[in-house]
Chain A
Amino acid sequence: MKFLENILHKMEPNFVKGAKYEKWNPLFETIATFAFTPKQVTTKGAHIRDGVDLKRTMMMVIIALIPCLLFGIYNTGHWQMVAELGNRNLPYWENGLDKFWNGSLIVLPLIVVSYGVGLGIEFIFGMLRGHSLHEGFLVSGMLIPLTMPADVPLWMVGVATAFAVIIGKEIFGGTGMNIINVALTARAFLFFAYPTSMSGDKVWMAGTETTKVDGFTGSTALGDLATFMSDKPVFQNLNGFTSEYSLSESFIGMIPGSVGETSTFACLIGAGILLITGVGSLRIMASFFVGGLAMGLLLNLMGGNPYFELPAVYHLVIGSFAFGAIFMATDPVSAAQTAKGKLVYGFLGGLLAILIRVLNPAYPEGVMLAILFMNISAPLIDYYVIQGNINRRLKRIKTA
């Protein structure tokens, strides 16, 4: 790779301060530091430094997302075929290559738009502030398409990404400074700005709107469940629901939903990667699941309504619960930062997600709102944890 290094060296003088392309230095530096870890050495303090850097940390999250992405592509292809043929009982594992190909044609453009818009804006801010690209968006750019319904128009993804990067992150100072999760900001923006494209039973399968089959509905498990709370439930009782959406199918992810969220199995593979490498917080993930389960069990105890009586385990495998717990709630910047705080943050997040999901018919899924709410509350949780430490220290003076 010596020749590449030489090319970069040759180009470098054009981008230094005072040179012709000084303005473009952040762009040059981003590319150069992507290709080569810079020759920067320690000057003060510890003379050696850990091998870890933010690029590798972020790359691990992207690797952890790959199972969800691949499964999401296949699943999107499957449900597109379902919508086209109008047959919800289409065998899942047949015509695999066709489904994967069709799914790619839907999902890859979402990824391209998300990265294109996001990185473009990041570069502009980088040039205004004179720093190279910070890695945070590498993960957000992958999370955004995975949280979208398959049928979302591409321009909406672009607008949402722009909103999330500018309002959600850059105005606070960029990577590491944001208060709420960037990817969820994009999703929440679309959810409230263009509700018809983000909810209901027309958006989850590509081509539902244009299908020629009469009476076909592209509803999701959560959408159907929410009808239990209304006058016109889709199913007469829970058995009707569980025969349409079996627990094992829901766990594997063979159900309609946002691109990357449906497969709890793929999410758990991602969780494994995040936990082995230590990038994701076990405290948050585990307490989020426990919180969700606790709320599910509490609702079971209350009973009186088929939705309340839905076995609590179901809540963990349908909708975006697992995806949210593993990839969204664990975002270290917007989550609680203290060890105890993480437990409280995760538990309340899981609790709220199921509470909103079941009790508020306006929002069939509560995970996004629960995590955003906990993002806002995280500093408060940390405040009390840290105050506890401070009080311990003050108490020591008094007893001494």
Chain B
Amino acid sequence: MSRLVSIHKGLDIRLQGLAEKQLKILPNSRIICISPLDFHGLNPKLLVKEGDSVKIGDPLFFDKTNEALHFVTPASGTVKSIVRGEKRKILQVLIETNENQEYKNGAAEDVSKLSSEELKTKMLACGLWPFIKQRPIDVIADQNQEPKAIFVSAFDSSPLAPDYNFILEGREEDLQTGFNALCQLTKGKVHLNIDAKNDSALFSNIKGVEINKFAGKHPAGNVGTQIHHIDPINKGEYIWTINIQDLVIIGNYFNTGKLNARRTIALSGSEVSEPQYYNVLIGTNLDGILKGKVKGNHVRFISGNVLTGDQKQQNDYLGYYHNQITVIPEGDNYKFFLTKGWLGLGFDKFSNSRLFPTFLLPKSKQFVLDTNTNGEERAFVVTGELERVFPFDIFPMQLVKAAMTKDIDGMENLGIYEVAPEDFALCEYVCTTKINIQDEIRKGLDIVAEECL
């Protein structure tokens, strides 16, 4: 039985530079990087030192607070360096890849014959567990909790998002194995949420799962929105989520016995000369993808999408969870108030409000937006604007205020357990105050995690 959910609130930010459906498979970059910073709240302890040689699947570090949770290398080679920051905090583990990729010994296994505990132990040890995240708090799932359901979104609705129908074409077998594994992990349902507009056989033929269709603007594809409309989280409950491309890596592992941690990412954005898809290794060096593909000389590289991604330099590395690289112009220039500034006509401005004439333009018009905040930080004055892009039965401004004032009771009452920072990305985009709302929600979640869970 599939269920159709229509999302009426939200906003599609129409940016230039959507990736063409062409795929290029890139060889492994010479250096790859696994950064503990990609895993929020992780307290890493190293298992390798500089100069060690590693095979694919060898653990690099583990979590001190959850010692079973191992993080492995997706490539074989030698540990080139361990980059540390203040107080010797581990920032990056860099691995120099070698020509012949060697895999750690492993064998294909039938997941349906494994018990839930065996499956968990296996996934924790071979580095597949970090792909599974949990709500509340939006961190790597705690294997000791019993999730009431597992949610997988089969589409991404964020600006310039990659199309999973294209990316995962021909991976039906790995997908099915991945979902079989998820079914073993929970006593509840596994929900696969697909795009109502783009209903492909790839996803609708998956067995053993509950298929739900979602229609509407972004954030219809966000798993947080989907959970809220299908099976909202209450205090004390857990829901696990996983990105569908990561699920394919898991499925592939059980089908082949090898960790093949490659993913297809979309290179997109107005400053990219040939936006298209690339198949790369997790933690790959961005320079190999971006070289010769960037138009402007003053741009921002984002690993991820423009709403939730991380700012990177050209020689940095792809984030662990990211399926997209976006390149947009930097906006650190002054804008004269009558021409490009606050009192200008504003034909170049995209806004959720109707303060600029661009709201009259046809929906096909695409915009080039830069990183300028378009104004300074202010107190909350305008009301009702966050609600227009926030399809939850939650009061966004009140919840943000509760998070900013560290009001734990307020956050619990207003629904902090149901949200992740990414759910507030559009709120942050539209908000007149220019406050970093996602950051405030993250801090609020951290307080709640420490005090209440």
Contacts and interface: CB of A to CB of B under 8 A. Distances in A.
B286 to A, nearest CB: 16
Given A37-B372, A40-B373, A48-B306, 20 more contacts: A33-B376, A36-B336, A40-B372, A42-B372, A43-B436, A46-B307, A47-B309, A47-B311, A48-B369, A49-B373, A50-B353, A52-B353, A52-B356, A52-B375, A54-B432, A56-B342, A59-B343, A174-B379, A277-B353, A393-B234
Contact of A396 (B232, B307, B425, B431): B232
Interface in B315-371: 326, 328, 330-337, 339-343, 346, 349-356, 369-371
Given A39-B331, A51-B351, A390-B413, A337 B383 contact: yes
Q: Is the interface of A mostly helix, strand, loop or mixed?
A: loop
Contacts of A279: 353, 355, 382
Contact of A51 (B332, B350, B394, B425): B350
A400 interface: yes
Interface of A: 1, 4-5, 33-57, 59-60, 132, 134-136, 173-177, 276-279, 281, 332-333, 335, 337-339, 342, 386, 389-390, 392-393, 396-397, 400
B429 A59 contact: no
B376 to A, nearest CB: 6
Interface in B419-446: 421, 425, 428-432, 434, 436-439
Contacts of A386: 395, 398, 414
B232 A53 contact: no
B387 A339 contact: yes
A37 B337 contact: yes
Contacts of B309: 47
17 contacts: A1-B339, A37-B341, A37-B374, A38-B334, A39-B333, A43-B436, A47-B371, A48-B429, A50-B431, A51-B351, A51-B374, A53-B376, A175-B378, A277-B354, A278-B355, A279-B382, A332-B384
B308 A278 contact: no
B260 to A, nearest CB: 31
B436 A39 contact: no
B221 to A, nearest CB: 16
A393 B436 CA distance: 27
Contacts of B428: 45-46, 49
A142 B306 CA distance: 39
B307 A47 contact: yes
A89 B331 CA distance: 61
Most buried by B among A35, A46, A397: A46
B13 interface: yes
Contact of B355 (A36, A47, A60, A175): A60
Nearest to A331: B381
A104 B42 CA distance: 67
A53 B336 contact: no
A54 B433 CA distance: 8
Most buried by A among B356, B382, B413: B382
Contacts of A390: 413-414
Contact of A338 (B351, B378, B395): B395
Given A36-B341, A45-B439, A46-B425, A5 B374 contact: no
Interface of B: 13, 15, 232, 234-237, 300, 302, 306-309, 311, 326, 328, 330-337, 339-343, 346, 349-356, 369-376, 378-385, 387, 393-395, 397-398, 413-415, 421, 425, 428-432, 434, 436-439
B382 A48 contact: no
A52 B351 contact: yes
Contacts of B326: 47
A51 B354 CA distance: 10
B439 A41 contact: no
B376 A38 contact: yes
A55 B382 contact: no
A54 B374 contact: no
Nearest to A392: B393
Nearest to A393: B415
A35 B344 CA distance: 11
Given A39-B333, A54-B432, A48 B328 contact: yes
A278 B354 contact: yes
A178 to B, nearest CB: 10
A38 B356 CA distance: 19
A49 B434 contact: yes
B234 to A, nearest CB: 5
A15 to B, nearest CB: 16
A37 B334 contact: yes
B256 to A, nearest CB: 37
A37 B355 CA distance: 16
Contacts of B356: 51-52
A41 B330 contact: yes
A55 B383 CA distance: 15
A49 B379 contact: no
A400 B372 contact: no
A239 B383 CA distance: 44
Contacts of A47: 300, 302, 306-307, 309, 311, 326, 328, 371
A19 B415 CA distance: 47
A381 B254 CA distance: 56
Nearest to A176: B379
Given A5-B336, A50-B430, A176 B308 contact: no
B41 to A, nearest CB: 17
A74 to B, nearest CB: 27
Contact of A52 (B340, B372, B421, B432): B432
